[in-house]
Amino acid sequence: MGSENQTMATDFIFVGFSSLAELQKLLFGVFLLLYLLTLSMNTAIMTVIRVERSLHTPMYFFLCVLSFSETCYTLVIVPKMLVDLVAERKAISFLGCAVQMYFFLLLGCSHSFLLAAMGYDRCVAVCRPLAYSSIMTRRLCAQLVAASALSGLLVAQLVTPLVFCSPFQASRQLEHFFCDISPVLRVAFRQSDAGEAVIVALGVFALMVPLTLLLASYLFILADVLRIPSAAGRHKAFSTCSAHLAVVLVHYACASLIYLRPGSSSWSGQDALISVTYTILTPLLNPMIYTLRNKDVKAALRKAIRKTQISAECFPGKRSR
């Protein structure tokens, strides 16, 4: 009994949805549906890109990696959140919280740098179309993805130990539904000045460096597009990066609502819903944007669906077995 009480005392308790207690069963159903849609759409995009040879290009390679990253990102947060919505005790162990934050930082930071790499790809496609194939080689694409992953690994490897090295308050109630940096730091005793400075510096690195790279890419794209004399030519050039630009805007708009708002000492149901939007809806919107705004992806999806229908019609007996 004493061992069990000690274990429970070291757990963190999520209270992010406490102000929406009467809606938690409904939220469970809605979030579960959105989560399944997110998994199915990202899986469909990865499968189609893998199977369809016409999509074996750098842009779709990055899109496939982005879908894989977002699938892993949701796996880190959403299943635990769904369980907590129907559980009486919404707790996570000290080690579980540290592991969740580690992978959240790893995947979230990698995602931002991957969007910057995709921006560079679109910049080369618009500004250097004749040299695109020679510049965006398989080796360079793999290096860009590896650099994105290493950036996320660096942030996660440095920030997570700094956050969890401090002693924590007895209550350990996190005003959130997962182990994000800010709610965990609120229940910790004061960090050292050096530790706080490192966390802030790494946060700026994770958010501002990829944003700066994206802005630079799109400034080059804009300057090149404006030099095209015809309106049809400008529209065609800009349409090649419209889906990526929409994904970037969704990503940074949601991130700004959460991380760039004025500080508040209280957590509300509105805060929880905004965070859920970033956690669930963004990974769902991204494949939808690329599917709706990209003719190649839509054509490949239709082709895959037709193949499935033809296979089902030609071999009806397989399903019955």
The CATH number of whichever domain residue 27 belongs to comes to 1.20.1070.10
Q: Other CB atoms closer than 10 Å to residue 80's CB: what's the count?
A: 19
- Domain contains 313: no
Coil, strand or helix: which one is 188? strand
- Domain contains 17: yes
Residue type, position 82, single letter: L
- Domain contains 16: yes
CA angle 81, 86, 89 (to 5 degrees): 80
Q: Other CB atoms closer than 10 Å to residue 284's CB: what's the count?
A: 20
* Nearest one of 65, 32, 155 to 101, comparing CA atoms: 155
Residue type, position 243, single letter: A
Tokens of 28: 């469970």
CB 121 within 8 A of CB 65: no
- Domain contains 314: no
d(CA 137, CA 61): 11
pLDDT of res. 165: 85
> In the block, which residue shows the tokens 């921006």?
119
pLDDT of res. 241: 83
pLDDT of res. 1: 44
- Domain contains 26: yes
Q: How many domains does the chain have?
A: 1
d(CA 247, CA 250): 5
Tokens of 23: 């809606």
d(CA 269, CA 27): 12
- Domain contains 3: no
- Domain contains 276: yes
Residue type, position 230, single letter: S
146-200 pLDDT per residue, tens: 999 999 999 999 889 988 887 888 778 888 889 988 888 888 876 666 666 777 7
Q: What is the pLDDT along the chain (321 residues), one digit of tens a residue?
A: 444 444 445 789 988 777 777 788 888 999 999 999 999 989 988 988 888 888 889 988 999 999 999 999 999 999 999 999 888 888 999 999 999 999 999 999 999 999 999 999 999 999 999 999 999 999 999 999 999 999 999 999 988 998 888 788 877 888 888 998 888 888 887 666 666 677 777 777 888 899 999 999 999 999 998 888 888 888 887 788 888 888 888 888 877 777 666 554 455 556 666 777 778 888 888 878 877 666 777 777 777 667 666 655 565 655 444
Domain that holds residue 24: 11-258+271-295
* Nearest one of 154, 163, 124 to 141, comparing CA atoms: 124
Long-range contacts (CB closer than 8 Å, 24 or more residues apart) made by 42-46: 42/67, 42/68, 42/70, 42/71, 42/283, 42/287, 43/67, 43/71, 44/287, 44/301, 44/304, 45/287, 45/290, 45/291, 45/297, 46/71
Tokens of 127: 């500004």
pLDDT of res. 144: 96
The pTM assigned to this predicted structure is 0.85
Q: Which residues pair with residue 174 across a beta bridge?
A: 14
- Domain contains 320: no
d(CA 308, CA 300): 12
The residue count of the chain comes to: 321
CB 198 within 8 A of CB 158: yes
175 phi and psi angles, rounded to 5 deg: -80, 65
